[in-house]
Chain A
Amino acid sequence: KAGVTQTPRYLIKTRGQQVTLSCSPISGHRSVSWYQQTPGQGLQFLFEYFSETQRNKGNFPGRFSGRQFSNSRSEMNVSTLELGDSALYLCASQGGGASGELFFGEGSRLTVL
């Protein structure tokens, strides 16, 4: 069974640009979450989608947005990039059940210059 796939794995952008990151969850999983990981703040929750609906959002500015498609694939977008947006962006899929076990992808490492 294929795991969570994130693309691209690495990317470099300059301040003011925008970026779109993609996530394909495990087959059959309908819930996708996004987290930002930085050395200073650790993993911080961005948003969570289930069946194309955002059902939870973290404390990030409106420059961070996301969506989920009918096939459960998800994208997140960051507009007007700032230096502080440099981070590892992790996508996780969840298959249901009380435990809420999240399966993470390997992440997209964004560097903003």
Chain B
Amino acid sequence: QKEVEQDPGPLSVPEGAIVSLNCTYSNSAFQYFMWYRQYSRKGPELLMYTYSSGNKEDGRFTAQVDKSSKYISLFIRDSQPSDSATYLCAMRGSGAGSYQLTFGKGTKLSVIP
């Protein structure tokens, strides 16, 4: 079993839809949870970052972390064609001295106009 599982999709939705992206993980030591967006032929860029459990909202994006279920989600409201990209979840523990991230394989999202 991989430490982080993420459905690769592809996921195709109409413009304006609410998108839900999810990851599950097995390592209970993970404390920091992130979502990265990666456009084709580009490096990943950080979208959202959450520490421990809870919700965080930033514009059209909401990140949720449920540590009891080892489950994290990213919601995109009013999705736009410009949101078409691969979304990667990433996480790490709180140990000092390293910022190593463990990534999911990514979900490819297409938002159709």
Interface residues of A (CB under 8 A from B): 4, 31, 33, 35, 41-45, 48, 55-56, 58, 90, 92, 94, 98-107
Contacts and interface: CB of A to CB of B under 8 A. Distances in A.
Q: Which secondary structure characterizes the binding site on chain A? A: strand
B74 to A, nearest CB: 16
Contact of B99 (A4, A33, A41, A43): A33
B46 to A, nearest CB: 6
Contact of A107 (B43, B51, B97): B43
B90 to A, nearest CB: 8
B30 interface: no
A48 B102 CA distance: 13
Given A99-B51, A100-B32, A90 B44 contact: yes
The 8 closest A-B pairs by CB, nearest first: A104-B43, A42-B105, A100-B99, A43-B103, A56-B98, A106-B43, A104-B44, A94-B99
A102 B46 contact: yes
A73 B49 CA distance: 26
B100 to A, nearest CB: 5
A105 B43 contact: yes
Nearest to B45: A104
B100 A33 contact: yes
Nearest to B92: A100
B94 to A, nearest CB: 8
B100 A99 contact: no
Given A100-B32, A102-B46, A106-B42, A42 B99 contact: no
A8 to B, nearest CB: 14
